[in-house]
Structure 1
């Protein structure tokens, strides 16, 4: 009974973390109204369901794989994403950005749904880092006019970390007796959404591609 109680309590910490992290960007946004660029950066990853799905999937996959991937993936993605953001800020082109973002949600969802475990965690980090480049470029090219690029970049990196944390927190369901099935189901839903995003991105074409899905702004 004691072991069962502990197993039930542990995921609650993960859910509490996920719930708290989901409110963090809003709290920071309200607190930093005068920080030119920072607020926009904090809000931007939340503006598209394709960004949200992929970034949460990174956390879910890391939680599923466990250490050291648990921390390697949430480090690799924003690290390479920052590089992509710099390319976008400088106006340097990156082919297939919207397709890459949509495909990231599809593939990462499949990884979680199929419980894919690379032989070495570094390969998982390479995969998420590669996709981070596309997400970062999209953020960088959408810097609002007149706002500070450095603060904007800091904002979207922090917001991305929050989304990874939400995924890790939700990944705590793996500790439940049937938690593995729930985690795989979440991956399947993300993959399904990613497929929808990818269809939209491919149909738009490279010249007039727009974000695959836009989340409602507050």
Structure 2
């Protein structure tokens, strides 16, 4: 079954040693570079999918949270790209966002559309600030936003399938995303 494969893949992401927010990213200046960048870090990949999954499973207006997330991510990236600003506790905020997104998925937490969009926007800003420091040029940023929206779309599709899934499947999926926060605390992902 396809659902079982997805659930099996997420713990593997948690075990990955890749981290998208360290190292030399000075080569990332083109659209394709930006497009591929979110796929290189398990934290970004899991967060983008989780936003879509949670939105489809729990929110009455499922597109609002992913669009708010992408918009806030873009604002954070533009701010750090334009000014070189390093958000205080940026990596901690990314770690917290993973834990929160994992819980939102696991608990299938519903909230009013405006609250869902605001929650997504708050969780996204640190991801954008981090990527804005890594990407060079607006073409790379456009590529990153494109892939972010595509991952949200994939998450929405998966979330629609999970609406009738057993509670345990949703809980394991959310726990896999939250596990990335624990792995990040150990300095691995």
TM over 0.5: yes
Q: Give the match for residue 145 of structure 2.
A: 157
Give ranges in structure 1 of 5+ residues lacking alignment. 1-10, 16-35, 202-211, 214-218
- The 3 A distance-change label for structure 1 pair 175 and 112 is closer
Alignment partners' CA distance in 1, 2:109 and 2:176: 16
TM-score with structure 1 setting the length:
0.69
- The answer to whether the 8 A contact 2:59-2:110 is kept is no
SS of residue paired to 1:173: helix
Query: What is the Cα-based RMSD across aligned positions, in Å?
Result: 2.4
1:6-21 paired onto structure 2 within 5 Å: none
Q: Which residue of structure 1 lines up, in the alignment, with residue 13 of structure 2? A: none
User: Who is 1:22 aligned against?
Assistant: none
Structure 1 or 2, whichever has the larger Rg, is 1
Q: CA deviation at 1:171?
A: 1.2
Aligned residue for 2:110, secondary structure, equals coil
Is residue 2:50 matched to residue 1:73?
Answer: no
- The answer to whether the 8 Å contact 1:173/1:180 transfers is no
Q: Which consecutive aligned stretches of 4+ in structure 1 deviate over 6 angstroms post-superposition?
A: none
Partner of residue 195 from structure 1, selected from 159, 179, 182: 182
> Residue 93 of structure 1: CA displacement?
2.5
Q: Which runs of 5+ in 2 are unaligned?
A: 7-28
**Hey, what does 2:105 align to over in structure 1?**
112
Query: Does the 8 Å contact 1:171/1:183 carry over to 2?
Result: no
